[in-house]
Structure 1
Amino acid sequence: MKIKQFEYKPLSHYSYALVSNGEMVIIDPERDPMQYYAFANAHNAKIVGVIETHPHADFVSSHLQIHKETGAVIYNSEKLGADYPHQAFDEGDSIKVGKATFKAINTPGHSPDSITIVATEGEETILFTGDTLFIGDVGRPDLRENAGKMKAKRQELAEAMYHTIQNKFTDLPDDAIVYPAHGAGSLCGKSMSEANSSTLGNERMGNWAFKQQGQEQFIDALLDNQSFIPSYFGFNVDVNKIGAENLRPGIAEVPFKMYAAAKGLIVDVREEAQFKNGHLMGSINIQATSEESKFETWLGAIIEPGEKFSLVINAPEDLETVLHRVAKIGYEKQLQSILTLSGDNLVQMKPLDVQDLKKNPGNYTIIDVRNKSEVAEGRFFGNAQSHPLNTLRDTSDEIPTDRPIVVHCAGGYRSAAGSSILAKQLNPVTVYDLGEAVKEFE
């Protein structure tokens, strides 16, 4: 077996291709399938299957597009209730790919329809664990409760995860390689390792979920202190259950305009400094300038599914990259236009006098846009009000407007977005972004 791990860093997502004797299977593919096609071509392999370990919440999968373009069979659990052509792949089922054998284990917990894929060839055993088993953690069980059409209660899924970890991996060898669908930084778990793979033996020794513990203790640890759920997660689960439309036609329909303006909801993806130096009135600054920026997550957390918006980019050469990033979470149909600015009728954000904030913090209303779990671990300012970024558009009317407002997070990315939201919604109150200077208050 030859295995290739593909990483999409902004979503901490891993997908896989496995080639055996000229045949190839893709596991948990991201929205753009071209990299998998290139890998198949380079290895003279025919793509015969694509396997979904579950309907993903944090990205849109290309399984249906791969089926249409290659004829590959889509495999997933029958419990998913998929609306696209597929073959059931559950416990007791097996697939032959070249000289490799694929078997499914039903491993509910992250979702009711999660499966783990066991691939064997000779003495080698590979586990593609999806969002069930991560390196150092297991998948969170609370994503299906209030999101999308596929409902499931967190308590029931947490109990299912306990039984999955206790029973489903028992007969598998310690040297089995574990390949998860996500790594550190994903919102699908809370304490994942930076490592991109492990062995089942190492997870049995080091992963908290495998430690000797009762069901109640396990469930308490699993449910405690989980992060927020972005509003787009339920939307993506539903899209993946139906099967997304082909990527190329979808992004081709988005109009591009140079030196233009826009009305309505505007998302400016340029760097914070560029945005502050001049932007369209009412724009929200969600930066998409590097792989480290969690643009997809925050776009889908701040902008609701179905909500129309326009994008401001820095230069025409950024167009394709940003379009693809929007499409990763299936928001391309909401995108009315992408534009570059003309330089006319732009507004600026005033810089904060950090020394005055240090001397006179009571002269400002300080807004902390970090997640509640972060705030619980410690505050930068004793008088700060907590308004997490993902709900800030809804809670901004609760913020006092009798003093200038200072917005902070932990490093500057979220405060840039948060300050732009408040500048839009609380105009004409002066809003400052503390940005990276927050580190001076640690």
Structure 2
Amino acid sequence: MIIKQFEYKPLAHYSYVIVNNGEMAIIDPERDPSQYYAFAKANNATIIAVIETHPHADFVSSHLQIHKETSATIYNSKKLGADYPHKSFDDGDSIKIGDVMLSAINTPGHSPDSITIVATKDDETALFTGDTLFIGDVGRPDLREKAGNMKAKREELAEMMYDSLSTKFNYLPDHALVYPAHGAGSLCGKSMSDAASSTLGDERKSNWAFKKQSKQKFMDTILDGQPFIPSYFGFDVDINKAGAENLKPAIDRVPFKRDTTATGLIVDIRDEALFKKGHLSGSINIQAVSENAKFETWLGAIVEPEEEFTLVIDKEERKDYILQRIAKIGYEKQLKEIITLQKENLMETDVLDLKDFKKNPDNYTIIDIRNLSEVDEEKFFENATSHPLNELRQSGVHIPRNKPVVVHCLGGYRSAAGSSILSRILKDTTVFDLSESINDFK
């Protein structure tokens, strides 16, 4: 069998296709299905199945679009309660892709409706584990308390994950290849490896979740220290449960205007240097200048689902590219318009006197916008106050205004967003971005 892994780096997402004897299945597809269509064409294969291991929280899937455009059958667990046409795929169910047998195992833990797909042909075995089993870790159990058809408390899901890891993989061989839906950098787990795949034998040896331990110790470990949950996660679970609109008509509806201005919530995606030279008052600088930048994550952490916003880009040629990225998390419907800026009436960002800051740090209110786990590991300023970036639009109103404010993160990307948020909130206070100068204090 041919297995192809596709990676979307900003969300550390892996999707897959399996091809055999002219037939193809797609597993956990991203919002844009064009790459899967191209692979099917290159391999003279017909797409007959698209399988969802669970309703994803961190990206919008194209399973419904693929069904509409290719007539492929959608398969997922009956526990999902999907609102789109589908067939149940649970313990004991199987389908064939050419001579490859695909079987389902219910492996709840990350979500109540999670499945693992077992692909076998002759002596080959591959496991598509979704967000159940990662390389070096397992999926977090705290994303389904407030979202989706089936809600469950994190303790209940942690216990389910223990049972899944303890029982559901026991009969499978060590040589089985493990293909997860995410890698390092995803917020769906906390300690994933950089490796894109593994074997079940290697995971049994090195993955903490397979080690012999009490249920309570397992639950304590999996529940402790999980990263923050972006605002959009529950929103995307609901979109994926219903099935997303086809990509092209969804993004084609967003209007574009050249050399203009805007009011309301404005997200400026330009490089921070351009932003600081001139931007609309109140704009939030969430940069999307790199293909690997975590733009989607921070857009969905800072802007609430269904909250309308205007997007500022540097040139019209980038419009379609950025629309594709916004659609990855389903935010295209709340995007009022995309614009390029007029040159008049723009605001400049104040520049920090670094020498004075180093000499007189107590003359400034220092705001650390890193995640709490990062702050616990290392503090750069003893007098800094912690305000994680994903909470800053709410918590920033409590920051004292009697001194200039200096915002820092670890490398500068997040502080560009954080300082712009505080400039919007603390209108009568000077706000500085320490940016890459944080390296002087490490």
Which amino acid in structure 2 is aligned with residue 57 of structure 1?
A
Structure 2: which 5+ residue stretches go unaligned?
none
Q: How does 1:297-376 map to 2 (within 5 A)?
A: 297-376=297-376
User: How far, CA to CA, are the matches of 2:322 and 2:149 in structure 1?
Assistant: 29
- Structure 2 residue aligned with 1:194: 194
CA contact (8 A) 2:20 2:97 kept: yes
CA contact (8 A) 1:177 1:198 kept: yes
Secondary structure of the structure 1 residue equivalent to 2:291: coil
Q: 1:356 and 1:150, CA in 2 relative to 1: closer, same or farther beyond 3 A? A: farther
CA contact (8 A) 1:131 1:138 kept: yes
User: How far, CA to CA, are the matches of 2:146 and 2:81 in structure 1?
Assistant: 19
CA contact (8 A) 1:150 1:238 kept: no
Q: How does 1:260-275 map to 2 (within 5 A)?
A: 260-275=260-275
Structure 1: which 5+ residue stretches go unaligned?
none
Q: How does 1:342-421 map to 2 (within 5 A)?
A: 342-421=342-421
User: How far, CA to CA, are the matches of 2:140 and 2:382 in structure 1?
Assistant: 31
Q: How does 1:230-245 map to 2 (within 5 A)?
A: 230-245=230-245
Over the residues paired in the alignment, what is the CA RMSD in angstroms?
Answer: 0.7
Q: 1:423 and 1:148, CA in 2 relative to 1: closer, same or farther beyond 3 A? A: farther
User: How far, CA to CA, are the matches of 2:149 and 2:400 in structure 1?
Assistant: 37
User: How far, CA to CA, are the matches of 1:52 and 1:352 in structure 2?
Assistant: 49
Taking structure 1 as the reference length, what is the TM-score of the superposition? 0.99
Which amino acid in structure 2 is aligned with residue 363 of structure 1?
N
Q: Which ranges of 4 or more aligned residues in structure 1 deviate by more than 4 Å? A: none
- Structure 2 residue aligned with 1:9: 9
**Cα deviation digits, residues 69-116 of structure 1 (max 9, x gap):** 000000000000000000000000000110100000000000000000
- Structure 2 residue aligned with 1:50: 50
CA contact (8 A) 1:107 1:164 kept: yes
Shift in Å at residue 363 of structure 1?
Answer: 0.3
Q: 1:408 and 1:148, CA in 2 relative to 1: closer, same or farther beyond 3 A? A: farther
Q: 1:370 and 1:148, CA in 2 relative to 1: closer, same or farther beyond 3 A? A: farther
Secondary structure of the structure 1 residue equivalent to 2:68: helix
Q: How does 1:116-127 map to 2 (within 5 A)?
A: 116-127=116-127
Shift in Å at residue 397 of structure 1?
Answer: 1.2
Which amino acid in structure 1 is aligned with residue 322 of structure 2?
V
Please state if 1:246 is matched with 2:256: no
CA contact (8 A) 1:149 1:234 kept: no
**Cα deviation digits, residues 257-306 of structure 1 (max 9, x gap):** 11111111000000111111110111000001112210000000000001
User: How far, CA to CA, are the matches of 1:148 and 1:112 in structure 2?
Assistant: 10
Please state if 1:114 is matched with 2:114: yes
- Structure 2 residue aligned with 1:211: 211
Shift in Å at residue 21 of structure 1?
Answer: 0.3
User: How far, CA to CA, are the matches of 1:150 and 1:311 in structure 2?
Assistant: 34
Which amino acid in structure 1 is aligned with residue 55 of structure 2?
P
CA contact (8 A) 2:148 2:241 kept: no
- Structure 1 residue aligned with 2:424: 424
Which amino acid in structure 2 is aligned with residue 304 of structure 1?
E
CA contact (8 A) 2:136 2:191 kept: yes
- Structure 1 residue aligned with 2:33: 33
Q: 1:150 and 1:234, CA in 2 relative to 1: closer, same or farther beyond 3 A? A: farther
**Cα deviation digits, residues 34-53 of structure 1 (max 9, x gap):** 00000000100000000000
User: How far, CA to CA, are the matches of 1:160 and 1:152 in structure 2?
Assistant: 10
Which amino acid in structure 1 is aligned with residue 416 of structure 2?
A
Shift in Å at residue 440 of structure 1?
Answer: 1.1
Secondary structure of the structure 1 residue equivalent to 2:160: helix
Identity over aligned pairs, percent: 69
Which amino acid in structure 2 is aligned with residue 284 of structure 1?
I
Shift in Å at residue 170 of structure 1?
Answer: 0.3
Shift in Å at residue 148 of structure 1?
Answer: 5.0
Secondary structure of the structure 1 residue equivalent to 2:310: strand
Secondary structure of the structure 2 residue equivalent to 1:311: strand
Shift in Å at residue 54 of structure 1?
Answer: 0.1
CA contact (8 A) 1:178 1:198 kept: yes
User: How far, CA to CA, are the matches of 2:164 and 2:14 in structure 1?
Assistant: 22
Shift in Å at residue 428 of structure 1?
Answer: 2.3
Shift in Å at residue 194 of structure 1?
Answer: 0.4
